[in-house]
Structure 1
């Protein structure tokens, strides 16, 4: 079992980040992959939606992958199935700016998480960013 972030202090520290790239962000209200990033956006986070099947979300153009995001990214939040986490982590590891990878509820990949940790970054798995923000920050 990898040493993912679990303490409230560590989670609060990650939530103090400014820019969150949301891989799998949805343009469909009512879906968690839309409503959670919308919540974060409404609370002042710079949310970068990443989705190869959407053109615009939250009034901004949507890059196909993390590789083509020009902005600095603090946290990568993942709304994709667990089996896709490894490929997303591969993209994270090609960047110098990402400090943490956060997988939403029901999403975990121990091997990918281990690779993130070995690169000196933090990992939160199987937790909802909105729930944790409400609990610790709001």
Structure 2
């Protein structure tokens, strides 16, 4: 993680639109209710998921490449830690990604270092809901 604790609020404040990598159709999963919470508190987001689905009015795309650029600057990731190298490679290849937020329990030191080297700010092992409640 290359974003300092005292920078988290400003990062969240700057990026009011983001993409949710792995936005689940299952309302019991964090990858569904975290985006709902953030939307209810003024953020806008779209999601990616490999299978088409309806999720509380969120627009779901099959991949990051299909997501409009204004949502791809900040990517909130809900993938297993071992999948993070693939996500980082995709984000770097796509270009335009400024922040990669790895949700609570998700981290991969080598992939994070690769993203940072490519100029991407990385927040890892942090929940947007917890950080929102802490800073806003």
TM-score w.r.t. structure 1 length? 0.89
Partner of residue 55, structure 2:
57
Partner of residue 15, structure 1:
12
> 1 CA distance for matches of 2:99 and 2:130?
17
Partner of residue 109, structure 1:
108
CA offset digits 1:19-46 (Å, max 9, x no partner): 1111111122121111111101111211
Superposed counterparts of 1:68-87, under 5 Å: 68-72=66-70, 73-87=72-86
- Say whether residues 1:127 and 2:129 are aligned partners: no
Partner of residue 30, structure 1:
28
CA contact under 8 A between 2:45 and 2:58: conserved in structure 1? Answer: no
Q: Output the aligned Cα RMSD.
A: 1.5
- Number of residue pairs matched by the alignment: 134
Consecutive unaligned residues of structure 2, counting only runs of 5 or more, are: none
Q: Greater shift after overlay, 53-62 or 112-121?
A: 53-62
Runs of 4+ in 1 over 4 A off after TM superposition: none
> 2 CA distance for matches of 1:36 and 1:129?
7
TM-score w.r.t. structure 2 length? 0.90
Consecutive unaligned residues of structure 1, counting only runs of 5 or more, are: none
